[in-house]
Amino acid sequence: MNNIPKKLRAELAVDPEYKLCMVTGEPARRGDPIQWHHAMIFAGRQVQKRFAIVAIKKSIHEEVHNPVIKEFIDWIVLNRMTESELDYYSKAVDLRYRKEQLNIAYGVYTPRVAATGINYPSNM
């Protein structure tokens, strides 16, 4: 596991999107803090880009290998990527196709911040 570079860490620390769990839309709770998860591996390394680091509650982070949770996090990551990033990282897997399939399953992703409420399916 690699540490997030200091410059990127500083950017994420002030970003309101990183104050909520990107899976549940909930803020941190006592005993269940928000943690930053590297959600993408490329060429055997964690991708150190904003789109690939998701804010999730500790309780969700502990379940990140659950196929349903992993798929939902993949949906978030793929929808946060630019077209050029999708092209660049589509080597072994066609990420555009994967994104399309996940959008069919979960809908169109629109990030929310604390002031606007939760934007995630109720089954999560």
- In DSSP notation, 69-104 reads HHHHHHHHHHHHS-HHHHHHH-SSS-HHHHHHHHHH
Q: CA-to-CA distance for 80 and 50, rounded, in angstroms?
A: 9
Answer yes or no: is 123 within a domain: no
Answer yes or no: is 116 within a domain: no
What was the pLDDT predicted at 124?
44
* Cβ-based neighbours of 63, under 8 Å, separated by 6 or more: 69
Would the pLDDT of 123 be above 90? no
Answer yes or no: is 28 within a domain: yes
Q: Domain tally for the chain?
A: 1
Answer yes or no: is 115 within a domain: no
What was the pLDDT predicted at 113?
61
Task: Grade residue 116 by pLDDT with cuts at 50, 70 and 90.
Answer: very low
Rounding to the nearest 10 degrees, give the CA dihedral for residues 72, 3, 89, 84: 100
pLDDT tens digits, residue range 87-99? 999 988 999 999 9
> What's the mean pLDDT in 50-77?
95
Domain range spanning residue 27? 6-107
Answer yes or no: is 62 within a domain: yes
Answer yes or no: is 124 within a domain: no
pLDDT tens digits, residue range 17-60? 999 999 988 899 999 999 999 999 999 999 999 999 999 999 99
Say what the pTM is: 0.85
Answer yes or no: is 114 within a domain: no
* Angle formed at CA 19 by CA 89 and CA 42, multiple of 5 degrees: 15
